[in-house]
Structure 1
Amino acid sequence: MKYGGGGYVPGLVFHPTTPDLLYARTDIGGSYRWDAAAAIWAPLTDGFGIRDSSHQGAESIALDPTDDRRVYMTTGVTVSLFDLGRLYISTDRGDNWQRVDLPFPVGSNNRGRAIGERLMVDPNNPAILFYGSRTAGLWKSSDRGQNWQQVQSLASLKMNQSQIDNNSGGTPIGVQQVIFDTATSGSGSATQTIYTAVAPDYVALAGLSHSVYKSTDGGATWTVVNTPVQGYHIPHWVRAQDGMMYVVFTKTTGPGAEGPATLYKFDGTNWTPLKSYEKTEWTSFGIGGVAVSGSGSSTRIVLGITNSWGDWEGKPTVQISDDAGLNWREIGSMTPRIPATGSFTGWLDDIEINPGNPEHVLVVHGGGVWETKNASATKPTWSEMVNGIEETATLSLMAPPSGASYSLLNSSGDIGAHVHTDLSTKPTRSTGHVFANGIATDMAWDTPSYIATIGSAHWGGENKGALYSTDSGATWTAFPSLHPKGLTNQADFSSLAVLKANHVIWAPNNSVPAYTTNNGASWTNSNLPALPDGWGRSYRLAADRKNSNKVYAYDSGGGWWGPTPKFFTSTDGGSTFTVSSQFTSLTARPEFFGSASMAVNPYVEGDVWLVDGHSIYHSLDSGVTWTKLNAAASVWGSNTNSPEVFGATSIALGKAPAGSAYSAWIYLVGVIDGVWGLHRSEDGGNTWTRINDDKHQYAGMGNLAADHNVVGRVFFSGNGRGIFSLTK
């Protein structure tokens, strides 16, 4: 399903000689290759399975200059010695991958994730690769990435977990750059002159004296390079055709690195400042990306200016020079945009010039990629370049009844709540900038034009907490009052359910749910037991669609160490709940809020399905008694507290064909007969069929919602990959 962008793209990598061969890496949502003919980004990591969920982000991508089909990609979302990085190698432009485990961690979603590229291929001998790691110095491979050795002639320090946790907020930066100083390619002999840039944290821990080093013997030995400033980061360093190098020094790491910042040109001996930003009372601009085209006095340079929020005349966003840095002008702020309401500010941490077309400039930001193809214009036109990139983090999904004017309600991190009316286009109905995170959304089943949603505010924005709509999401209004903890307890594991128009029950995290019957004029606490503070603890709520006085609540326990989960039923609109002692006796496993799921059959009163992360449970009497199915099972390893693969994490019920054995088709994310995937049962849970395949696993699937208009259509979220619909 289409949203377009939605998340941070820290890096773009062009092949140096093949026209328009371009790759994008994201921090949590996979990597992409640009299909110029179709004008769409093609996903490259959708075949990653559930065991690859912590490797859905790419820290670096490198291309072989002599073989445009060979691609390297390093993955690992968070720096940790307990989950080391991986190198993926492709010989068909990313359609298929070979995996090599790395001896150091990788952090695609840590601070400084736009720095680099950290991984570089020697253009003269492409069997040689270098990698600037965050925690263990510089590494080299001489066999196309199959084996790696630390370059101990530079430094031998390998951080332990304590050093990792106590440096740069737990996200060390380490070695930032590898630059081959050569004008040749494919000579067969290793490039001899190499530069590397080292971040202040690793300089200090490894006992180094400087931040830049040079080798003239292919990395065997290194000498100090004096730099004009110390204690700064070098997020990008590029070499022009004439050998002149352009190097950015910025005080902080990014995303959205703050200044002071300076761009220097470096001829191997002398450093010459070309552009600087100093802190002022109101601004702290940094320089993120730098790219060059051409050579000599007519070298084109473009800069992405970071921590530069908003759009106003004179604000630096994208700076360009066509005379090797002597003069500069702004080509990003207050320029024509397609779409006209779009913007790109703040996290401009990488910028690129198409090697085959210097008019084509691309810049990243927190929501994707923008491009202009007339960079020489006084006011270039910029267009979003996000077709195919889907990098939203979905927090909840809900499908409406048949006959509603929309197809899906979507609550996602960073982009709020959206109402999808056309699955092929970006939704136009949303909470706009009111919410940063859209947490949960539900509708009145008998009046689906009434929708309620909860969410958290953007930094510095007014926190409205909860909104409602009476026109299917075309407009939104803040509730006149809120749950007593509605503004203080806004974690992603909060929940709400709509029983009917104006009647909503809301469970902020670690709170007693409260309900309103007058559209938020007042809220009354239910009798559900109070929950202690703690990560992942909340009541999951679901309304019975056949009886608007019934609502269900599930306490998953809050984690594997928590108390036995409990199921509750209310028959008076959420005021009084009764616990199911029979469900408690089944000893469902305690788990985090997000590992459990509940679905109510909208065609039969009191027909409730629940998964606790491991098993499937079914009740036909409104949760009084339960049957535990034997279909799903977690895959366990040596850790007895948490499985290697959860057996049942999300469940949904959708429309079934007339005459079906059971009134709804059931969809499950979990493990059936030892195989993880998206499964469907057409006979009430007796038999199951996997309906996805190995090429479409998305490094895990999260929330489910099944369609009530189209038989066999189910909506699901990928791991940082937005929302998909599958009809089968």
Structure 2
Amino acid sequence: MQKLRKMYFGITAALASVVLARAAVTSQPYVWKNVKIGGGGGFVPDIVFNPIERGLAFARTDIGGAYRLNSDDSWTPLTDFADDEHWDYWGTDALATDPVDPDNLYIAVGMYTNSYDPSIFSASDNVLYLPYANGIGPWDGTAGYVMKYFVSNNSFIDITPAQGIADNSYGYSGMSVDHQNPGTLLLAPFNEYYPDANIMRSTDGGFTWSQIYTYGYPPPDYTLAVYPDYNYNVSLAPWITTFATGDTKHIGWGIQGLAIDPFDSNHWLYGTGLTIYGGHDLTNWDAVPRQNVTVASLADGVEETAVQGLTAPPSGPILVSAVGDVGGFVHTDLTTSPPTFSNPIWPGTASDVDHAGANPSHIVRLSGISGSTSVSVANSSDGGATWTPYPGAPSIADNVYGGKIAMSASGNTLLWTQASGFSGVMVSKDGAPFTAASGIPNGAIIASDKLNNTVFYAASGADFFISVDGGSTFKQVSVLGSATGSTQIAASPFTAGEFFVSTSHGVWHSTNYGANFTGLGGPTQAWSIAAGKGASASGPPALFAAATIGGLNSLYRTDDLGANWAKLPTVATALSQASGMVLAADPNVYSQVFVGTNGRGIFVGHA
């Protein structure tokens, strides 16, 4: 290593070789499909059945577009036509199915301009129902009521459930009328969270109500006891079981979209902040004696997770992901829904993952949420099958979380940047407490060399840094052209000292630990990049880049270090959002790339 140290530190702020030559660009057909997570993984604010065509229904998500229901209870995405130029189309604010021509669907689009207004529901030409909450939700609102309006005499009556009046801590939004039995209603409190959300049902036009569960604090220990009148089934999304371990929230939260099939009184669906639930035996509720209804996850095909990080080890799992809201996943089979991370189960977002290139059974993940009940770093030594809270992580009381993390090639060293609650870049070796790394700017992007255990890379603006002592100290060794920002460093899985850097001034390549750089032809700006198996064993790795080439933002691949680029057709919503992609390249399958999106889950594509 002494020879390497001399090579690194003997070059101070050397200017990278500027090439950025014009490159040939062709289009290449690609096959895309979702990596199976299933069950949604995000907020579903509305579900609408068409009133004249049996089985036709639509759902909208807050950031993942709109979907159409299939006959097998699965869903088909409808708004994957939106491209980078029309990024605001990825949010669906409202949708309406045509009551005259069911082939027509109307959607109002826009990102995060949603208003969760009270809704009016019609049971017949002469009665309207109005649920109300005093907040826009889905997390606020402390009171509300349900009113019934009679058109014939222009009068209202209050049909708020008695338990809601007594509780006086939530409002109402989700409501549906059984069109086969117009006096039968379903109602959901908008933001009841303890011990769970609830569903209420009336068969007499709202004069009396029953609940899908009750709860109490019976003797002798007076602890919480929930008495469900439903059967819970998440077999289509088994990760929900892991995610909800220790939680009483099976019915859900943030319920707004609630719908009874107008042609089938047994078929019902509702959206939550996690998935779409429902079933096909709703009238069991009305049986005497009462029978349990089924509450099942029925969101197969809805892939709504917002992906924060991906890593593709050369052995063991095919893919490990960090996602918003529901933690993340270890995929050993891309077609099967796996459990979420466990021990610790963070109640929300994971912000990053990485693996040890020379010891790929070692994986690290990072929590992206404040106020967790566990430390914010967890590691695995068995390919993600089991996890352990990292002993050197800051304490829960320190509340340090989020950012990005890199694991050294052998897996014994972690480098952590952009964390909330800590100013600077931190390093930990062999489980020791994290301490500040020196010589590296606050907020720098980082990566480990995938084969040399003592080497880490970093960049900030146009400045490039290297550490040869396991991340303890860094030194600037080069300047990346006229870049004003650096986005990602992608180390080769196959060759020590080889890596790529994406910047506001294109993509840069080094084969000698950053002593020299060459600017690749083609991209004038690049965001996420990933290096995977090359076209030939003796050639360079295949490089995937979310980049601008010839003024067009897209996903590209080069097999010859930028002399030629293939533009990969992107048919999924956020696959066309180049600046928001999260990439990982398969080190074992040539041309295969994983693309994390902001609201459409993870895609895998290959030529």
**What interval of TM-score do these two structures reach, taking the shorter chain for normalisation?**
0.7 to 0.9
Q: Give the structure 1 partner of residue 69 of structure 2.
A: 34
Say if 2:160 is the partner of 1:275.
yes
User: Whole-Å Cα distance in 2 between the matches of residues 63 and 282 of structure 1?
Assistant: 36
* Structure-2 separation of matches of 1:499 and 1:3: 29
SS across alignment from 1:376: helix
Following TM superposition, by how much is the alpha carbon of 1:354 offset from its aligned partner in structure 2, in angstroms?
0.6
Report the Cα distance in structure 1 between the residues aligned to 2:435 and 2:131, rounded to whole angstroms: 57
How many angstroms apart in 1 are the aligned matches of 2:572 and 2:450?
A: 36
| 2:449 equivalent in structure 1 | 544
Pair 1:496 & 2:406 matched: yes
Q: Partner letter of residue 355 of structure 2?
A: M
How much does 1:599 deviate?
0.4
Aligned residues: CA RMSD: 2.5
**Which residue pairs with 1:374 in the alignment?**
281
In structure 1, the partner of 2:18 is none
Contact 2:415 2:425 in 1 (8 A): yes
Question: 1:685 aligned to 2:545?
Answer: no
Match of 2:234 among 307, 318, 339: 339
Q: 1:325-404 to 2 correspondence within 5 Å?
A: 325-331=206-212, 334=228, 335-339=230-234, 341=241, 343-377=250-284, 378-401=291-314, 404=315
Task: Choose which of 288, 309, 317 in structure 1 pairs with 2:198.
Answer: 317
Q: Is the 8 A contact 1:50 1:676 kept in 2?
A: yes
Deviations 1:500-528 (A, max 9, x none): 23321222437322222222x32332113
Counterpart of 1:581 (choices 478, 484, 503) is: 478
Of 422, 426, 448 in structure 2, the residue corresponding to residue 514 of structure 1 is: 426
Conserved? CA contact 1:262–1:277, under 8 Å: no
**Which amino acid in 2 is paired with 1:670?**
A
**SS at 1:447 equivalent:** coil
Pair 1:434–1:316, CA change in 2 (3 A): closer
In the alignment, the residues of structure 2 paired with residue 31 and residue 698 of structure 1 have an alpha-carbon distance, to the nearest angstrom, of 16
Q: Distance in 2 between matches of 1:252 and 1:488?
A: 30
* Number of equivalenced pairs: 533
The correspondence for 1:406, drawn from 296, 299, 317, is 317
| In the alignment, structure 1 residue 237 sits paired with structure 2 residue 120 | yes
For residues 140-180 of structure 1, give each alpha carbon's deviation from its aligned partner in whole angstroms, at most 9, with x where no partner exists.
xxxxxxxxxxxxxxxxxxxxxxxxxxxxxxxxxxxxxxxxx
Report Cα offsets for 1:284-326 as digits up to 9, x if no partner: 2321211112488x61100012222255xxx661101111112
- The amino acid that maps onto 2:534 is A
User: Are the aligned partners of 2:60 and 2:95 in contact in 1 as well (CA < 8 Å)?
Assistant: yes
Name the CA shift for 1:680/1:614 in 2 (closer, same or farther; >3 Å).
same
Preserved CA contact (<8 Å) 2:373 2:396: no
SS at match of 1:54: helix
Q: Corresponding residue for 2:25?
A: none
- Looking at structure 2, the residues matched to 581 and 451 of structure 1 have their Cα atoms a distance apart, in angstroms, of 30
Tell me the distance in 2 between the aligned counterparts of 1:421 and 1:277.
50
Within the alignment, does 1:6 sit opposite 2:36 as a pair?
no
Residue 47 of structure 1: which of 81, 93, 105 is its match? 81
> What's 1:605 paired with?
496
Alpha carbons 2:179, 2:263 under 8 Å: kept: no
Does the 8 Å contact 2:446/2:458 carry over to 1?
A: yes
CA 1:685/1:483 → structure 2, altered by over 3 Å: closer, same or farther? Answer: farther
Deviation track 1:546-580 (CA, whole Å, cap 9, x = no partner) reads 2111111122xxxxxxxx43211111111121102
- Give secondary structure in 2 for the equivalent of 1:512: coil
Alpha-carbon distance between aligned partners in 2 of 1:288 and 1:554, rounded to the nearest angstrom: 49
Shift of 1:496: 3.1
How far does the alpha carbon of each residue in 1:619-654 deviate from its partner, in whole angstroms, 9 at most, with x for none? 122122222223013xxxxxxxxxxxxx31111011
Distance in 1, Cα, partners of 2:605 & 2:497: 28
CA distance in 2, matches of 1:337, 1:552: 48
CA distance in 1, matches of 2:187, 2:542: 53
Structure 2: gaps (5+ residues): 1-34, 215-227, 236-240, 245-249, 285-290
Residue of structure 1 equivalent to 2:514: 623
- Alignment partners' CA distance in 1, 2:45 and 2:134: 18
Matching residue of 2:132: 249
1:503 alignment partner AA: T
Are residues 1:438 and 2:350 paired? Answer: yes
Q: Secondary structure at the match of 2:85?
A: helix
Say whether the 8 Å CA contact 1:513–1:528 is kept in structure 2: no
Matches within 5 A, 1:65-76: 65-76=99-110
| Contact 2:520 2:561 (8 Å CA) reproduced | no
Whether the 8 Å contact between 2:267 and 2:280 is mirrored in structure 1 is yes
CA contact (8 A) 2:449 2:457 kept: yes
What amino acid maps onto 1:727 in structure 2? H
Partner Cα distance (2:394, 2:471) in 1 = 14
Partner in structure 2 of residue 193 of structure 1: none
The alignment status of 1:426 with 2:426, answered yes or no, reads: no
Q: By how many angstroms is 1:278 displaced? A: 7.6
Q: Which residue of 2 aligns with 1:212?
A: none
Partner of 1:59: helix, strand, or coil? strand
Asked if structure 2 preserves the Cα contact closer than 8 Å seen for 1:497 and 1:541, the reply is: no
Secondary structure at the counterpart of residue 249 of structure 1: strand
Deviation at residue 683 of structure 1 after TM alignment: 1.1
Counterpart in the other structure of 1:86: none
1:263 equivalent in alignment to 2:173: no
Partners of 2:353 and 2:89 lie apart in 1 by: 29
SS where residue 262 of structure 1 aligns? strand
Query: Are 1:570 and 2:475 matched, yes or no?
Result: no
Distance 2:90 2:273 in 1: 17
SS for the counterpart of 1:236 is: coil
SS of 1:453's equivalent? strand
Q: 1:344, CA displacement in angstroms?
A: 3.0
Q: Deviations over 1:396-435 (max 9, x none)?
A: 111101xx22011101111113211111111225146325
Structure 1 487/664 Cα, relative in aligned 2: closer, same or farther at 3 Å? farther
Q: Select the structure with the greater relative contact order (CA < 8 A; seq sep ≥ 6).
A: 2
Mapped contact 1:256–1:286 kept (Cα < 8 A): no
Q: Is the 8 A contact 2:425 2:437 kept in 1?
A: yes
TM normalised by structure 2 equals: 0.82
Return the TM-score normalized by structure 1: 0.69
Say if 2:319 and 2:330, in contact at 8 Å, map to a contact too: yes
Q: Which of 92, 98, 112 is residue 64 of structure 1 equivalent to?
A: 98
Quote how far apart the aligned CAs of 1:671 are. Answer: 2.2
Structure 1 residue 717 displacement after superposition: 1.4
CA distance in 2, matches of 1:517, 1:50: 41
CA contact (8 A) 1:47 1:695 kept: yes
